[in-house]
Amino acid sequence: MTHSRKRYQKIILAMEDALTTSRDTNIAGLASAIALCSSLLTKYAAHVADVTVGEETGEHKALHTAGQLASTVAPLNLTELLTRVNDLTAKYTLHNTDAAAATPTYHQADVGAGNALVATTTVTTLSGAITRLNDIKAKYNLHDADTTGHTTGAKYATAVDNAALGTAIRISAGMEQVRIGDTVSWAILNDGTGNVTGVSAVAGDGYVDFTFSADPQDDAIISYCVAAD
Spell out the alpha helix ranges (H) of 60-218: 78-99, 126-145
Mean pLDDT, residues 84-109? 97
What tens digit of pLDDT does each residue of 132-178 get?
999 999 999 999 999 999 999 999 999 999 999 999 999 999 999 99
Mean pLDDT, residues 4-28? 86
CB 124 within 8 A of CB 108: no
Mean pLDDT of the chain: 95
In our burial notation (b when 16+ CB lie closer than 10 A, e otherwise), range 150-178 reads bbebeebbbeeeebebbbbbebeeebeeb
pTM, full prediction: 0.94
* CA atoms of 138 and 115, how far apart (whole Å): 9
pLDDT at 229: 67
> Strands of 183-190's sheet, edge to edge?
11-20, 221-228, 183-190
SS3 per-residue string spanning 8-58 = CCCEEEEEEEEEECCHHHEHHHHHHHHHHHHHHHHHHHHHHHCECECCECC
Q: DSSP character for 122?
A: P
pLDDT at 20: 98
Q: What percent of the chain has pLDDT over 70?
A: 96
* CA atoms of 114 and 120, how far apart (whole Å): 15
Residues 6 or more apart in contact with residue 188 via CB below 8 angstroms: 196, 197, 198, 212, 220, 221, 222
Return the domain boundaries, the chain.
11-25+166-228, 28-145
Band (pLDDT 50/70/90 cuts) for residue 190 is very high
pLDDT at 10: 82
Reported as half-sphere exposure (CB side, CA atoms, 13 A), residue 38 has a value of 14
